[in-house]
Structure 1
Amino acid sequence: MPLRVGYVREHFCSPLLQYEAEDKGKTFTLVECPSASCAALTDPLIAGIAKGSQAYKLVGSYVNSPLKWAVITGHNSPYEQISDLQGTTLGISRYGSGSHTMAYVMALQQGWATDQLKFGVNDDIRGLLDSVNDGSTSAFMWEWFTTKPFADANECRFIGAVPTPWPSWLIAAHPERASLAELKTFLSSLTLYVREFQKPEARAGPSVEFIKKTFGYPEEDVKAWLQTVEYTRDCTEIHSEVLSRTLSVLQQAGAVTLQDGEKIDPSEFVNRNVATLIIPEDEKHSATP
């Protein structure tokens, strides 16, 4: 049976969609998952494992550049800048989601007390847009280019942006539902499509056209996004500093709690039978007894 690969239908998945179009279901099929996926945001994946989830392990990398989160409010709301949001109820899709985690990151940047944040859960982008326009929440956070068409249509307003302090996308898999050989083949092939997608000559033409045709975004928005995004050079590798950096910020935000002196074992997060864990030399030496 081919691999079943979860994904969110967004422009970030363009290389994956190109791979699927040529594969034609021979080695994998895509399953649309609006709230979670195999290719998913870094922080919810790492936070889930840190909190004890056994449902998946990290098996690869996808996008190395930060994710640009727009801070979004209602079209006629009274909020004009991020500082106006202090003490208000922020919209999130669900607890533990990227919109939830990034609200803490924003609060840390603003110097707000994170234990005083208030949230309204609104499930999806439509629920979040409705909430900021009916006043039940003040603002929410979502990827900039995904939500820009709503701002262009006057359904909402952007009042700021907060980039993630970590690479934005990793790849995870259930530890038993997919064979190691199938995962390795999938990741190695995906690497080729990722490399082709982000070549300068592709960014200048074919990649722009693919996103315009697939997602209907204006050409100027596509070109602006392509100037900011950086995919991994090897989907089969995971760098240990991504884990440590993300966990450090998640701890500061109160999204993950570690005991004093507790050290993170990368093998708890990464399926090293599939992915290659890249550990800097100084970390290797410090880990030596």
Structure 2
Amino acid sequence: MKQVNIGGVPEHFNLGWYLALKNGEFKDENINLRWHDYHGGTGAMSKALRSGEIDMAVILTEGIVKDIIEGNPSKIVQTFVETPLIWGIHVAAHSNFKSIKDLKGTKAAISRYGSGSHLMAYINAKNNDWDLDKDLHFEVIKNLDGAVEGLTEGKADYFMWEKFMTKPLVDKGTFRRIGNCPSPWPCFVIAVRQEFIDNNKAELKTILDIINQTTSDFKSIPSIDKTIANRYEQELEDVREWLSLTEWSQDVMDEKTIQNVQNQLYYLNIIPKKVNYSNLIYKV
């Protein structure tokens, strides 16, 4: 049986993987798929792909594009979630910040450099016509627990994270959300180490076929809204809103979309150069 290590964030976007694993669908095809949660997000997964700790990752588009350009020996094989990620912009509930414009020149909490929370702070700054050199400052907090501590203790002033996963902290009165910043592209892709692609093409195709079948039927799974609400400690109405806004993909990201991602990252000085589509994408 072929062992394959895959990483992802422990969020509702990835529930399809858990369901397919629970049903034994990969084992039925002689694949021992091992899921690893990465609470540190995209930066941590990029590092794990580089080191060979994992073979595959369900990872934020902007983060892996940046890391491949910077030498990560991986390729994007498919879009996983077609719709944008809605990043909530959060401040400590007791803070004096009332609007996004109040955050100009303050310090953003980020999980790590190169993470989604880091890169989207630039997108938010661009959207609000801030000076990217003078108005952006960062504090590394590693994960959501670190953000709670960082904002509460005043080490950082605001934190960008997926709106629905963070909402329980807003409901509890730990954070206040003062705005949203949707990613200007499909949010999650599946990235695979080149070495794994070269040596395991059949297994890779099988894995993608299984997860694509699961995600194409995901919304029609009986009581899926209740399952998500219970598993991720979400309010049912929030889960239903999230489901209505989220579309999974079973397709390869097209050249125009990849070009848009690169154009924006290059404009923001997040990547040093733009590369050919074939440097970033592998079609299984």
Q: TM-score range by the shorter chain?
A: 0.7 to 0.9
Checking the alignment, whether the CA contact within 8 Å between 2:25 and 2:210 is kept in structure 1 is no
Partner of 1:284: none
SS where residue 194 of structure 2 aligns? coil
The counterpart of 2:244, out of the listed 218, 227, 234, is 227
Distance 1:5 1:271 in 2: 17
Distance 2:224 2:268 in 1: 36
TM-score normalised to the size of structure 1? Answer: 0.87
Partner of 1:16: 17
The counterpart of 1:126, out of the listed 139, 145, 149, is 145
- In structure 2, the gaps of 5 or more residues are 46-56
- Change in 2 beyond 3 A, CA 1:197/1:167: same
The counterpart of 1:107, out of the listed 111, 121, 125, is 125
SS where residue 177 of structure 1 aligns? helix
Distance 1:94 1:134 in 2: 19
- Change in 2 beyond 3 A, CA 1:91/1:106: same
Distance 1:227 1:213 in 2: 18
SS where residue 67 of structure 2 aligns? helix
Partner of 2:177: 158
- Point out 4+ residue stretches in structure 1 off by more than 6 angstroms: none
Structure 1 residue 52, shift from structure 2 partner = 2.5
Checking the alignment, whether the CA contact within 8 Å between 1:3 and 1:182 is kept in structure 2 is no
> Aligned pair 1:186/2:207, yes or no?
yes
- In structure 1, the gaps of 5 or more residues are 275-289
Checking the alignment, whether the CA contact within 8 Å between 1:70 and 1:143 is kept in structure 2 is yes
Partner of 1:264: 275
Distance 1:123 1:31 in 2: 17
Distance 1:105 1:97 in 2: 13
Structure 1 residue 65, shift from structure 2 partner = 0.2
Deviations 1:57-77 (A, max 9, x none): 111110000000000001111
> Aligned pair 1:242/2:257, yes or no?
yes
Deviations 1:214-243 (A, max 9, x none): 2221111110101110111x25x2212221
Q: Residue type matched to 1:136 in 2?
A: K
Checking the alignment, whether the CA contact within 8 Å between 2:81 and 2:188 is kept in structure 1 is yes
The counterpart of 1:29, out of the listed 27, 30, 34, is 34
Q: Residue type matched to 2:84 in 1?
A: P
Q: How many equivalent residue pairs?
A: 262
Structure 1 residue 20, shift from structure 2 partner = 1.1
Distance 2:109 2:232 in 1: 25
Between the aligned residues of both structures, percent identity stands at 30
Structure 1 residue 269, shift from structure 2 partner = 0.7
Deviations 1:133-154 (A, max 9, x none): 1112110100000100011111
Structure 1 residue 177, shift from structure 2 partner = 3.3
More displaced stretch, 108-117 vs 29-38: 29-38
SS where residue 23 of structure 2 aligns? helix
Structure 1 residue 32, shift from structure 2 partner = 1.6
TM-score normalised to the size of structure 2? Answer: 0.88
Partner of 1:285: none
Checking the alignment, whether the CA contact within 8 Å between 1:2 and 1:25 is kept in structure 2 is no
Q: Residue type matched to 2:102 in 1?
A: D
Deviations 1:12-37 (A, max 9, x none): 00111111111266122212222344
Distance 2:36 2:154 in 1: 34
Q: Residue type matched to 1:45 in 2?
A: I
Structure 1 residue 209, shift from structure 2 partner = 2.4
Structure 1 residue 131, shift from structure 2 partner = 1.2
Partner of 2:162: 143
Structure 1 residue 102, shift from structure 2 partner = 0.4
Q: Residue type matched to 1:74 in 2?
A: A
- Change in 2 beyond 3 A, CA 1:216/1:24: farther
